[in-house]
Amino acid sequence: MKTRFKPKFNIKKGDSVVVITGDDKDPRKPRKVLEVITDKNRVLVEGVNIVTKHTKPSAQNTKGGIMKIEAPIAISNVMLWDSKSHAPSKISRTREGGKLIRTAKKSGEVIK
């Protein structure tokens, strides 16, 4: 994605999210974000989009073989989990004292 400005996302590494579309859709099961790939608009979510990868033996993996790993999914397919209302929620971003504060629109709780 070639753009002039870097996109801003409401989801960060370590957040609890819910997959709202796709094969792993489960709007009641929060999962942890392992990585946010901003240049491709994708996120790596724990236990979602498991793919099999065939690997050759190497110094780190002496056996090689077939491994199951998580693959990134589109950031539009996940929604932040609101722990207070126990549901997915949209996010509002405001500045307070020069710092960006993320709050859940459903409950008004500040997300750290």
> Given pLDDT bands bounded at 50, 70 and 90, which one contains residue 4?
confident
CATH number of 64's domain: 2.30.30.30
- Give the whole-angstrom CA distance, residue 61 versus residue 7: 36
Whether pLDDT at 2 is above 70: no
Residue 107 lies in a domain: no
**Are the beta carbons of 50 and 43 closer than 8 angstroms?**
no
Residue 97 lies in a domain: no
pLDDT tens readout for residues 20-69: 999 999 999 999 999 999 999 999 999 999 999 999 999 998 999 999 99
Q: How many domains does the chain have?
A: 1
The residue behind tokens 């209302």 is: 85
Q: What backbone torsions phi and psi does residue 76 show, to the nearest 5 degrees?
A: -75, -10
pLDDT tens readout for residues 66-103: 999 999 999 999 999 999 999 999 999 999 999 999 99
**Residues in CB range of 5: below 8 A, 6 or more apart:** none
Which domain, by its residues, includes 55? 16-82
Residue 8 is predicted with a pLDDT of: 86
